Structure 1
Amino acid sequence: MGMDADRREKLAPALAALAVIVLPGLASFALEELGYQTVGSAVWAIGYGTGILMLWYVWIRPLDITGPESVDRSDPDEE
């Protein structure tokens, strides 16, 4: 009994937000409560930064954001 693809696609952003924002934040909070403010800040920055890079790699990098091939890119002043 697995999840269908549509439900999985809707759940992915929520899980990504959980992994990227909530988990490093909770780890940072726990370390700061134990008296390790610098380590807590480093854990949050590394966790959040790594998460953002992973989201870019998985969702944004594969997007084809180039212009259409039919556009003439030659310089109009060269004629």
Structure 2
Amino acid sequence: MLTVVAAIILPGLANWGFSTLGYPWVGSAVWALGYGLGVVFIWYEWVRPLDITGPEGVSGSEDSSE
């Protein structure tokens, strides 16, 4: 839940705040940077450590001689 707040809600609120103050480009940049860093963080912490390999004993080549 904290990751959702940090990656989506906070950059969105910052975008709204800067746009309200008359700085829409700054708000869009803050939103894009915050959202992008959130995606990178989620990949680094949750997806990268996963062991995504096939089962053992399965040949990776198409020319298997059985």
Q: Same fold (TM over 0.5)?
A: yes
Is 1:39 aligned with 2:46?
no
- Give 5+ residue unaligned stretches, structure 2: none
Q: 1:71 to 1:78 in 2, by over 3 A?
A: closer
Q: 1:26-58: per-residue Cα shift (whole Å, max 9, x none)?
A: 111100000000000000000000011000000
Aligned counterparts of 1:58 and 1:76: Cα–Cα separation in 2? 37
* Higher helix proportion: 1
Q: TM-score, normalised by structure 2?
A: 0.89
Measured in 2, the distance between the counterparts of 1:77 and 1:65 equals: 22
Amino acid at match of 1:70: G
Q: Match for residue 46 of structure 2?
A: 59
Q: With the length of structure 1 as denominator, give the TM-score of the two structures.
A: 0.75
SS at 2:4 equivalent:
helix
Residue 68 of structure 1 deviates from its aligned partner by 1.4
- Out of 32, 35, 51, the residue aligned to residue 48 of structure 1 is 35
Name the count of aligned residue pairs. Answer: 66
RMSD (Å) for aligned C-alpha atoms: 1.7
- Which structure would you say has the larger RCO, counting Cα contacts within 8 Å and 6 or more residues apart? 2
Q: Identical aligned pairs, as a percentage? A: 56
Structure 1 runs (4+) greater than 4 angstroms displaced: none
